[in-house]
Structure 1
Amino acid sequence: MQLVIISGLSGSGKSVALNVMEDCGHYVVDNLPSALLPQLVTHLRGAGYQRIAVAIDVRSGSGIAALPRQLETLRSMVRDVRFLFLDARDDTLIARFSETRRKHPLGDDSLTLGEAIAREREALALVAELGHRIDTSDLSANTLRNWVKSFMNLEAGSQITLLFESFGFKYGIPVDADLVFDVRCLPNPHYDPVLRPLTGRDQPVIDFLERVPEVGRMVGDIYAFVASWLPSYVNDNRSYLTVAIGCTGGQHRSVYIAEQLAERLRDSARVLVRHRSFK
């Protein structure tokens, strides 16, 4: 049996993620109190269901504080338990609520929308560290669907998942990053009119960057740091480690370096690569 638990801030994309789960053949339950998870698993297993996806968030009230303990119980019942937490910047959440005109679950006459979001973020602080975290701030719904599918395609097991994520500093640092490396000091292909519309995955940009010794040194230094400390993260029982590589626009240098690091570390961990700033 596989159990996927989805949590996160209101407006961060949980409905999109649940729809992906349903499309993948999971039995989907939204807004379940965490205390009922063991009973749900027992009931659905008896009914023959093998894949379950459950959304649990602040709508469950104070009971969500028990979710970390519930996960330990669930892992003794189900071989493949995955936890996905969706996050976003406050300004993005405010904009989404303004566009949809929906009321925040914690909103009332005594709280502004910003204050309700802050209260929800505080209530979910411990839950946010339980599993894989995705910052949906600058993601389209289609991109989020693809990222959730990538998360689901990972095989279960004890091996850590290492995510290399390129981004542009002008769009802000992704909130899901565990380690952040700034590569803006390297020569920028953006200033070459021929290379400007390309990305760090295109061969002309790769050739440009590989001719610069500092780029090779940067890749080697970041690789050495991550490879050296990766066993410590594994020993700390981490399931996921997100390494964010940032340049100015997130199109050339950070993309190239994220791809290079992923290729070098594929034998050390399960590896994902994501590029935030271009489609």
Structure 2
Amino acid sequence: MQLVIISGRSGSGKSIALQALEDLGYYAIDNLPAMLLGPLVDELRSGQSLRSSIAVSIDARNLPHALERFPTLLEDVRARNIHCQVVYLTTDARILLERYSATRRRHPLTRDSQMTLAEAIDCEEAALAEIRDLADLVIDTSRLSVHDLRGRITDQVAGHRREGLTLTVESFGFKRGVPLDADIVFDARCLPNPYWDPQLRDATGRDDSVIAFLDSYPMVAEMAADILAWVERWLPHYQASQRSYLTVAIGCTGGQHRSVYLAEGLAHRLAAAYPGIRLRHRELGLQRNLPAPDTDEDR
């Protein structure tokens, strides 16, 4: 049996994630009281149901004491030899404020209290802290469209292998903030910047002209080699700690040239050891799974 627990901040896309899993054949339940997690699993394993994949949403609408007991409840479920993933969706608080203002919906924690919307958002994050700490996968939906989020859920959650590490290499721009779901972050802003060459300004780190520019600087190759060596040295230890997901993020100022170049190179060099590695360029809006390195795909 496979169990997916969706949690996270209100307005971050939990309903979309749950619907995506339901469309893939999961038995989906929204706003499940946390205390019923064990009984639900027992009922669906009793032999009376053919459901082998379940997705439930557990969030701040639960009673506070139920959220406090979540770590124990999760441990109990996993002790029953069930493949269980905890997925936490988060969004920048400023963007949540904008979303609620645009939709004019009430935040769940403001319905029976005198809290402001900003206070409710902060209170909810604190209430869900233990669930986030136990999450196998954290997804930052701040800049994801509905289509992008559904794709991430389909790819990373429904397509997750029970054994092994799901590795993502991501490029981003510091001027738009560090990805909230990044586990390891490298800073490439000290490298020569193609942006200052007018002929390269509109190109990206995937274009031959930018690649040639960056290849001409020995320090770029040195940083690429150092990042690769560090990641290869420490990834086995992350795997040994039973991590299911890991995101390595590389940032530059705008997320268009240097970080894209380095992320492309790193992902391709790791592809042999981590089949199906995910390569994502946040600021370019691109994402793909890399094939095995013995294919003819171009860099």
Q: Do the two structures share a fold, i.e. TM-score over 0.5?
A: yes
Q: Say how many residue pairs are matched.
A: 278
Residue in 1 that maps onto 2:126 = 122
Which residue in the other structure is 2:150 paired with? 145
Q: Which segment drifts farther, 229-238 or 89-98?
A: 229-238
How far residue 154 of structure 1 moved from its aligned partner, in angstroms, is: 2.2
Q: In the aligned structure 1, how far is the partner of 2:222 from the partner of 2:119?
A: 45
Greater mean deviation of Cα atoms: 29-38 or 193-202: 193-202
SS at match of 1:243: strand
Please report how far the alpha carbon of residue 268 of structure 1 lies from its aligned counterpart in structure 2 after TM superposition. 4.2
Amino acid at match of 1:124: L
- Which range is displaced more, 100-109 or 2-11? 100-109
State the Cα deviation string for residues 58-114 of structure 1 (Å, max 9, x = none).
111221222222222222335422121101111011111111111111115521111
Alpha-carbon contact 1:2-1:78 (below 8 Å) kept: no
Q: Residue type matched to 2:116 in 1? A: T
Aligned match of 1:47:
49
Aligned partner of 1:226 among 208, 212, 231: 231
In the alignment, is residue 199 of structure 1 matched against residue 204 of structure 2? yes
State the match for 2:9 in structure 1. Answer: 9
Deviation per CA, 1:104-148, whole angstroms, max 9, x where unpaired? 111155211111111111111111122100111122222222222
Structure 1 gaps of 5+ residues are none
Aligned to 2:282: 276
Q: Give per-residue Cα distances to partners, 1:209-232, cap 9 Å, x unaligned.
A: 223222211111112222222233
Per-residue deviation, residues 241-268 of structure 1 (Å, max 9, x unmatched)? 2222111111221122112222222344
- Deviation per residue, 1:172-220 (Å, 9 max, x gap): 1112222211111212233344433333233333333223222211111
Q: Which amino acid is the alignment partner of residue 191 of structure 2?
A: L
What is the percentage of aligned positions where both structures have the same residue?
51
Determine the C-alpha separation between the residues in 2 that align with 1:83 and 1:203. Answer: 40
Please tell me whether residue 95 in structure 1 is matched to residue 88 in structure 2. Answer: no
TM value normalised by structure 2 = 0.86
CA distance in 2, matches of 1:41, 1:125: 24
Q: How does 1:24-43 map to 2 (within 5 A)?
A: 24-43=24-43
Q: TM (normalized to structure 1)?
A: 0.92
Amino acid at match of 1:25: G
Aligned equivalent of 2:116, options 112, 120, 125? 112
Preserved CA contact (<8 Å) 1:104 1:116: yes
Note the 1:117-266 alignment, pairs <5 A: 117-130=121-134, 131-151=136-156, 152-157=158-163, 159-266=164-271
Superposed CA RMSD: 1.9
Instruction: Indicate the structure whose relative CO is greater, using CA pairs within 8 Å and at least 6 residues apart.
Output: 1
CA distance in 2, matches of 1:116, 1:27: 30
Q: Secondary structure at the match of 1:60?
A: coil
User: Within 2, Cα distance between the matches of 1:196 and 1:79?
Assistant: 50
